[in-house]
Homo-oligomer: A and B are copies of this chain.
């Protein structure tokens, strides 16, 4: 079918054209959702959307990428024919229908996700189908390998250490203590971290208060060669491009497919060649994993997946019922980290980091079992970890001499006080994050909140619970309103919930 081109100078994420409904029906495009467009000897296959209004019969709307690839101008005539769907769409259908996918089938899907060959409908069907039907370990192994193979890999050498936290705990910046401890102990730990999507800070956001985190592969290798470690933003090195696209569909549906999460975490670790991996699984009300059983099941799956991939994995189930550290938001968390490196930091942040670093040292087999924690503690106490962190900050392009007091915290503040007397029962991570986000974190680094109490503290009416910091008075007010409405800190009482 010959169609008349209407060019729109808009960049779309994937090659896409829009046809009139009637032409689409005639071409049979309703079924395949794909067309082949030919113009002056060049041809490409694109996803075809349809409309009854925006494009007239006999016309085709063409956008940035497709226009350039075919060198098309407005009012050109192009030849359009229906073309078949990629085979991966059949495999997606197979998954929805409850069949197990084999390695080739999973690889085909992941490759098409990365190559942007799937329409939103097809990608969503894949994500929803995987969530509903679940994945068996064979599929998860295949998905991990496919994600690794379709992304960037970086060779940092042998005996690479790594860690991951399942997340959901506000302020949990153990990575920024573990990396300098492990690197100071003489091991290589090229840590890539994420930025916050729904939380008030990711490790990459917090590290960015101290130094840049956005590097290409060569620069990253240089940093690690020099210091044994780094704390970089994973997104900058494109380790798992399939992952980001899948997450974009999971978020609006609030779904988190276990099989995909396992594959995603392990793929990012394998892409940097990690051999010894510690996984932190926080458990409890307000964390991502609610029950102990679920945490144990997840741990066994991580370990099994590690075995199948030939890497050593150990999972630590940790208390996730409250934030770790006192600061929430990039700057306030970075300040906690610097205090901790001076051995003055929040006790819970230091204790958890030492436990994890100790476990990592033991997992590597390079220290006597039961002695890892002591070695880690010695490295922190002696100032060797601080010294290593200064080297890493400098290698990443930050100021190595930065002091906790130098970190700028937003000027407008408001303190929430307790209306009750008793012990602090819990501090709900999600709500704490929501309030810190309302104050401006993570985008505004200096915004967030500071916790004056910990779970178990005995407090009185009028005692300060937390202080909110914001650069904007409006945002401060909004965050304050949320704090009173959502009630993140529960004091006293034995009733955990009232069902009416």
Name the CB-closest residue of B to A126. Answer: B128
Give 4 closest A-B pairs by Cβ, nearest first.
A124-B124, A11-B54, A128-B128, A33-B252
Task: Give residues of chain A (66-110) contacting chain B, Cβ–Cβ below 8 Å.
Answer: 85, 89, 92-93, 96, 98
Name the interface size band of chain A.
Answer: 35 or more
* Tally of this chain's copies: 2
Q: Please report which residues of chain A, range 419-470, place their CB below 8 angstroms from some CB of chain B when the two chains form the complex.
A: 437, 443
Summarize A's interface: helix, strand, loop or mixed: helix
Would you list 12 pairs from A and B whose C-beta atoms are within 8 A, ordered by A residue? A13-B53, A13-B54, A25-B195, A30-B198, A30-B248, A32-B252, A33-B252, A54-B64, A96-B132, A121-B124, A121-B249, A128-B129
Closest chain B CB from A275 CB (angstroms): 33
The one of B61, B133, B248, B443 that contacts A26, using a Cβ cutoff of 8 Å:
B443
Chain A residues within 8 Å of B, Cβ to Cβ = 8, 10-13, 22, 25-26, 28, 30-33, 51, 53-54, 61, 64, 85, 89, 92-93, 96, 98, 119-122, 124-125, 128-129, 131-133, 195-198, 248-249, 251-255, 437, 443
Known: A12-B54, A13-B53. A128 touches B30 (CB 8 A): no
B251 touches A10 (CB 8 A): no
CB contacts (< 8 Å) of A254 on chain B: these are: 31, 93
Contacts of A11 in B (CB 8 A): 51, 53-54
Given contacts A53-B11, A96-B128, A132-B133, whether A122 and B31 have CB atoms under 8 Å apart is: no
Q: Known contacts A197-B25, A252-B119; decide if A124 and B132 are in contact (CB<8 Å).
A: no
Contact partners of A196 in chain B: CB under 8 A: 25
Residues in B with CB closer than 8 Å to A98 are 132
